[in-house]
Amino acid sequence: MAKITDAVDPGNAGGSVLIPEIPTMPNRPVTFQCDKCGEVFADREARRQHVFDQHPFKRPQLLVGSRMVKERGEVVASPFPPADWVVQQAERIEIDHQEVASRQACRQLSKITSGFHEVTLTSADYSVNYHIEFDIPKEAQLATVERAFNNLIVNQPLESDRIAQFITVAKEEDGARYYLEGVSDFLYGVLAKDQRGGTSLNRDDYTTKFHAAREALRFLNRPLANLIKALVNFNHNAFSEAEILAPGGQVAIACRMLNGLRCGKHCPPPKIRAASGHNLPVDTLTAEIMRFCSLPLTEQWERLPQLAHLVSKRLTTDHDRVKIQALAMNTCWEAGDHEQAAGWAKKLRHSPLFEALATRIIEDVEHE
């Protein structure tokens, strides 16, 4: 039987095979070349830093009213002049697949009042598609919502059935759709937070409703819409944003006081009691906090035990709890009870909102 090796040619019948010489090359240093400009670098980190500094990634952006437009789900429900539309870092602009110049694009977008439209911005690095719904109501449609609100909600017990009636009446009279949705979502959120008025929503659903209300009213510049957005921001402890939108009265005072405490400042209460200044239904905790902020120091001191009692209540949200603790700390400090102020401050030592003032009060008391 033949062996496997018998079929292997040993090469030149057992002779030797000449191997050509391989020229030797000197070792060349490893380099890293920039894909953008061709510049060569000795290491990868140097090239990365060069690309970051000299060739930053340019992503086109579309802004309206100083706010970034969302790529999907954006609704423009308020008119904006051409100057409020801004296109950034785009080399090519298309509206509904038609190429337009930058200035022409801003003029064209300012004239659209209804329908779904696509805006495509393209740069050398990236292309962004915006899918925008335009639903800009007429003044009469906005007034319809406000009239129904005044007739059916103001100075009336807030209940789910009443909100449903408000929606029905406003729709029948062709009220502005997103204005109506924003107002009704806020009202449903109030009921959910308080768990009253025949609501079928869970308590935690109030955050979803409040967020939906703020989004629906995002671009709407009306007193009622701005008040709702201010109260939603106040609920979420975004005091700076709330203070900008607050029209006056207790809302503005509460925003200003808590924003000051957030900035690490002591905030003296008002000299005289301030009126509510609005007729929008709000949840019980928010109403109590705003009412407390509007009182002069003597009345705040008298009501402090009732306010402090709310800290331990089951329905008190984390956002409201930290507001109450900060107000209690401030009232005690302004009233001269620094030991009690320090006690409240210790509860806020790790609060991202009020840590600065709380730490200073604790240190001041320790050095007294």
Q: Cα separation of 330 and 117, whole Å?
A: 51
Q: Report DSSP state, residue 12.
A: G
The whole-number pLDDT of residue 19 equals: 67
The whole-number pLDDT of residue 39 equals: 85
Q: Report DSSP state, residue 353.
A: T
* Residue stretches of the chain with pLDDT short of 70: 1-19, 22, 24-28, 57, 277
The whole-number pLDDT of residue 16 equals: 62
The whole-number pLDDT of residue 3 equals: 53
pTM of the model: 0.77
Q: Report DSSP state, residue 296.
A: -
The whole-number pLDDT of residue 317 equals: 93
The whole-number pLDDT of residue 58 equals: 76
Residues in a beta bridge with 120: 94, 129
- Please give the sequence-ordered ranges of beta strands (E in DSSP) within the chain, or none if there are none: 32-33, 40-41, 61-64, 67-68, 74-76, 85-88, 92-95, 98-100, 114-122, 127-135
Q: Which residues contact 335 (CB under 8 A, 6 or more apart)?
A: 297, 300, 301
Q: Cα separation of 320 and 324, whole Å?
A: 6
CA angle (324, 327, 333) in 5-degree steps:
140
The whole-number pLDDT of residue 297 equals: 94
Q: Cα separation of 272 and 92, whole Å?
A: 59
User: What phi, psi does 266 have (nearest 5°)?
Assistant: -75, 140
Return the domain boundaries, the chain.
Answer: 61-135, 139-220, 239-366
The whole-number pLDDT of residue 8 equals: 52
Q: Which residues contact 143 (CB under 8 A, 6 or more apart)?
A: none
Q: 101-132 burial, b if ≥16 CB within 10 A, otherwise e? A: eeeebbebbbeeeeeebebbbbbeeeebebeb
